[in-house]
Structure 1
Amino acid sequence: MGIPMTDIDLTALSLAELKQLEKNVAKAISSFEDRQKAEAFAKVSALAAELGFPLADLVGFAPARKRSEAVAKYRHPENPEITWSGRGRKPAWITDALAAGKTLEDFAI
């Protein structure tokens, strides 16, 4: 299944292509693991339901993990109280500044 590793000539790839390949492989592995976990969870949940129990009653309720508060990496040049962590959509002030020729490093904290 898939492409045998012997069919890929890694020596013919540029550094950028190798790094992209590395990212794609890491993403594929993570996606595969997530699918496997979801399948296992569905099977265990179905078995618990078949026995008349919600899965949460058998293993205890585990709330979803919360992401830690993102640390601010960029600060607005005119109002230091306005920051951005670099996660999610770029705020308008960053987008406008980048369009005007600034770089993210110009706003780094």
Structure 2
Amino acid sequence: MSDLLKTLTSIRALRVATKEFTLQELESILEKFQLITNERRQLIEENQRKEQERLERIAKYKALLAQDGLTLTDLVDDPTFTTKRPRKKIAPRKAKYQYTDQNGKVKTWTGQGRMPLSLQAELNTGKTLADFEI
């Protein structure tokens, strides 16, 4: 819990924190808290109203389905109904660069993703990527 929340939820801590405030400052703070509280209350009421409307629409559509003799499983079992798009297969890329790692093995890199550390070390010594092109 944050220090501010601890102060605001404890009457003792709140009294200590506001001891130096004038009555006008306290009333100004109170107005702001009331404004925030009213805004939050309106937001909650709006969300509840929207949820109630959504539930009413769902009930309406269920009634229409029942009236036509259909169930939700009739709609979901439809082979044309899909929830997931099939992923496209990405063709493997050809290697663009060839380098030798620290162990002496010859390796390749497509230029995609992170640069291999051994290739980066070679570039740090002054070579260029063009030196490693296949």
- TM-score range with shorter-chain normalisation? 0.3 to 0.5
TM-score by length of 2: 0.36
Indicate the structure whose relative CO is greater, using CA pairs within 8 Å and at least 6 residues apart: 1
TM-score by length of 1: 0.43
